Every structure is written in structure tokens, then in C-alpha cells.
């Protein structure tokens, strides 16, 4: 590590400790030439997760965008925000565990509908009506009938 004072390339580590709940390491260093001390931080570099939209565009995975859609579907329903945040966490974690760098908006939507179906039927129908772009009441009723038959 280059010294920020004299730019010498060699320093020794005096102390290391985990920070940010283990997400990074803080190292206290001392320059071997000038003897001045400085602090560095190491953190792992995360590959960005990209979302492939219906029209083929790619955009960065945005947790807040997904959470906002869930909150809107669950408006005035007895569902804690922590449950909705867990759904988003699960979607992101599953994609990263598979080693994916890209996920389709369709995969995200289907995963959200699976989660909402088990949590709250009204929120599920609200989300499905927007996600599946129901054009008329018949399509909406068809989805509700499928939901009733599952029970």
C-alpha cells in the first residue's frame, strides 16, 4: 500500500479489524520510510446485478424500485414493511447465490407473485393486475378464480 504522505510503496500493518458487520476490514498501517501512520479500508467488490427489462433494456437492480411496487400492492393491508423487505432480500440473495449477474424482470415479477400469494391474496391480485397487465375484468376474474381453486 502506497503511503499517502511520502508515496513509498511499503508499509506494515499495525492493526486489523472488521467493520460494517464484517463487510470491510479497517487496517492501521505505518510507512516503512517516513514512519507516519494511516488507515486503509478493504472491502470486497460486488459485481452489479442487472435487470433485463421486457423490451431488452438492461438497468441496475434497484431494491427500492421493487420495494416501492410491493408497498403499493400492499397499501392498506396488514403486512409489515419488514416482510416486504425480506421478499426483496430473498430475490437478490437467490440471484447472487446462483452466480447470476443478470435477472429478467419476468423472474422478479414471478418471484414476487409467488411470495405475495402466500402472504396476502388481495395484495397478490393487486400486484398481478399491474404485472400481468390485465386489459379487462374478465382477465382479472380469471386470476381470482385460479386463486380460489388453489384453496
Domain map (residue ranges) of the chain: 11-43, 50-150
Q: Is the pLDDT of residue 21 over 80?
A: no
CA angle 106, 130, 110 (to 5 degrees): 30
Give the Å distances, CA to CA, from 69 to 46, 65, 94, 122: 25, 6, 19, 14
Q: What is the pLDDT of residue 22?
A: 79
β-pair partners for 50: 60, 102
CA atoms within 13 A on the CB side of 103: 21
- Point out the least confidently predicted range of 18-27, 34-43, 71-80: 18-27
What confidence tens digit (pLDDT) does each residue in 88-147 have? 999 998 998 898 899 999 999 999 999 998 999 899 888 988 877 777 777 778 777 887
- Point out the least confidently predicted range of 47-56, 75-84, 130-139: 130-139
Amino acid at each position: 500500500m502506497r503511503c499517502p504522505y511520502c508515496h513509498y510503496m511499503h508499509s506494515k500493518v499495525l492493526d486489523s479489524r472488521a467493520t460494517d458487520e464484517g463487510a470491510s476490514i479497517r487496517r492501521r498501517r505505518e510507512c516503512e520510510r517516513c514512519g507516519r501512520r494511516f488507515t486503509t479500508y478493504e472491502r470486497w467488490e460486488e459485481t452489479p446485478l442487472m435487470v433485463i427489462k421486457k423490451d431488452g433494456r438492461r438497468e441496475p437492480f434497484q431494491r427500492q424500485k421493487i420495494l416501492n411496487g410491493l408497498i403499493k400492492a400492499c397499501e392498506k393491508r396488514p403486512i409489515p414493511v419488514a416482510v416486504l423487505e425480506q421478499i426483496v432480500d430473498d430475490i437478490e440473495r437467490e440471484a447472487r447465490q446462483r452466480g447470476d449477474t443478470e435477472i429478467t424482470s419476468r423472474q422478479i415479477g414471478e418471484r414476487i407473485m409467488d411470495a405475495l400469494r402466500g402472504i396476502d391474496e388481495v395484495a397478490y391480485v393487486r400486484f398481478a393486475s399491474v404485472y400481468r397487465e390485465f386489459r379487462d375484468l374478465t382477465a382479472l376474474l380469471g386470476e381470482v378464480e385460479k386463486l380460489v381453486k388453489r384453496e
